[in-house]
């Protein structure tokens, strides 16, 4: 994560982390970035959470079975044995609750694509990126956006959640300037 171009998820994780952990995260990411640049490394397997999130989106929009996808991911890499089932169960519980209360008939949803953007704070040489949202439109033409915040160690908390929501609104107003 070059700090001049950081995802909202990593930015929120940095904010929630204690100072010593934040410094360690930045150092580790700098080492990884240098190695990737030096060896022109193109990782076939994205980071842990992005891989899960891609499977969750397949389950929502393509009708894939998240249980099967999770099992396949674990078979490919045993390092996912503990966390992927937790992510799967949490996502399915939240998604069932969400679709039951808000969407109603989840068969009548349409995927929205290319909902992303970046925000550059004033007087800062950098930007915060927002992307990889689960974005959909329901039968009533209402748009729903789900942001994938993942952290094993730190819950988002009200202040960081407010900052994240403010950033999402600020970045995504490009897509709907009248809203």
The predicted-structure confidence for 135-179, as pLDDT tens digits, reads as follows 988 888 888 888 888 877 778 889 889 989 988 988 887 555 454
Domain region containing 75: 45-107
Do 144 and 61 have their domain in common?
no
Other CB atoms within 10 A of residue 169 CB: 11
Q: Highest-confidence range of 56-60, 78-82, 96-100, by mean pLDDT?
A: 56-60
**How confident is the model at residue 50, as a pLDDT?**
86
Do 170 and 93 have their domain in common?
no
Do 130 and 93 have their domain in common?
no
With a threshold of 0.85, does the pTM exceed it?
Answer: no
Do 71 and 5 have their domain in common?
no
Do 103 and 113 have their domain in common?
no
- Mean pLDDT score of the chain: 82
Do 52 and 38 have their domain in common?
no
**How confident is the model at residue 84, as a pLDDT?**
92
Do 140 and 97 have their domain in common?
no
Tell me: pLDDT of 56 over 90. Answer: yes
Token pair for 110: 């349409």
Residue that terminates a domain, selected from 107, 124, 143: 107
Residue 58 confidence class, pLDDT cut points 50, 70, 90: very high
Do 31 and 115 have their domain in common?
yes
Do 58 and 5 have their domain in common?
no
Do 90 and 143 have their domain in common?
no
Do 169 and 124 have their domain in common?
yes
Residue that terminates a domain, selected from 107, 135, 161: 107
Higher-scoring residue by pLDDT: 142, 44: 142
Exposure string over 21-57, b if 16+ CB within 10 A, otherwise e: eeeeeeeebeeeeeeeeeeeeeeeeeebbebbbebbb
Residue that terminates a domain, selected from 107, 134, 156: 107
Token pair for 139: 């039968």
What average pLDDT score do residues 43-70 get? 84
Contacts 24+ apart (CB under 8 A), 135-139: 135/111, 136/60, 136/61, 136/109, 136/110, 136/111, 136/112, 137/109, 137/110, 137/112, 138/102, 138/103, 138/104, 138/108, 138/109, 139/104, 139/105, 139/108, 139/109
Token pair for 76: 């490919």
Instruction: Tell me the percentage of the chain whose pLDDT exceeds 90.
Output: 20
**How confident is the model at residue 45, as a pLDDT?**
45
């Amino acid at each position: 994560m070059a700090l001049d171009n950081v995802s909202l998820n990593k930015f929120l994780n940095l904010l929630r982390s204690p100072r010593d952990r934040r410094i360690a995260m930045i150092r580790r990411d700098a080492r990884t970035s240098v190695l990737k640049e030096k060896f022109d490394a193109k990782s076939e397997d994205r980071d842990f959470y992005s891989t899960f999130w891609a499977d969750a989106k397949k389950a929502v929009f393509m009708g894939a079975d998240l249980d099967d996808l999770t099992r396949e991911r674990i078979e490919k890499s045993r390092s996912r044995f503990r966390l992927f089932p937790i992510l799967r169960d949490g996502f399915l519980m939240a998604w069932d609750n969400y679709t039951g209360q808000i969407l109603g008939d989840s068969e009548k949803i349409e995927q929205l694509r290319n909902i992303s953007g970046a925000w550059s704070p004033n007087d800062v040489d950098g930007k915060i990126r927002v992307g990889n949202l689960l974005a959909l439109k329901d039968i009533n033409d209402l748009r729903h956006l789900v942001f994938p915040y993942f952290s094993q160690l730190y819950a988002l908390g009200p202040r960081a959640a407010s900052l994240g929501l403010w950033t999402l609104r600020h970045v995504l107003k490009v897509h709907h300037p009248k809203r």
